[in-house]
Amino acid sequence: MTPPRASFTFDLVAPGDPAVVWERLWDLDKHTSTIPLTTVRGGPLSLASTFVGRTALGPVGFDDVMVVREWDPPRRVVIDKVGRVLRGSIEVTLEPCDQGTLVRWSQSYGASGVPDALTSLTRPAVRAAYRHVVRRLTRA
């Protein structure tokens, strides 16, 4: 599979040290309560673990299947999206900073049957949505 071309990166500062922010960020129950129309199941996360985000409105939905490829708490994780609908990868690094923890989120993404050039048009909205969710996840 060729990697998708649509990608984005953002940084944000979260309160707390990296270990605390890491726990908040990878609490899958918190993902379920934070991401609209999505239930996340699986975990606890570790190297090679699989988890699934089911996004649905009533009976219509899809699964976002993910596999943890690298797991170095509380510094770095790499997650691959390997489902039938969504593909791509996420790399997250955490570093201590004066205000708490610097979170750097880098993601490539695509969808089955959608040309990467068309997917790239969604970059501003997808980036903003992920940034909003990550900000909410990393707050106390």
- Measured CA distances, 38 to 63, 116, 122 (Å): 9, 24, 20
Mean pLDDT score of the chain = 95
- Average the pLDDT over 114-137 and give the result: 96
Specify whether the CB–CB gap between 87 and 79 falls below 8 A: no
pLDDT of residue 28: 97
Specify whether the CB–CB gap between 74 and 21 falls below 8 A: yes
- Average the pLDDT over 93-113 and give the result: 97
pTM: 0.93
pLDDT of residue 93: 98
Specify whether the CB–CB gap between 64 and 110 falls below 8 A: no
- Whether 3 has a pLDDT exceeding 60, the answer reads no
- Average the pLDDT over 93-110 and give the result: 97
pLDDT of residue 39: 98
- Whether 4 has a pLDDT exceeding 90, the answer reads no
- Average the pLDDT over 21-35 and give the result: 97
Q: How far apart, in whole angstroms, are the C-alpha atoms of residue 32 and residue 100?
A: 25
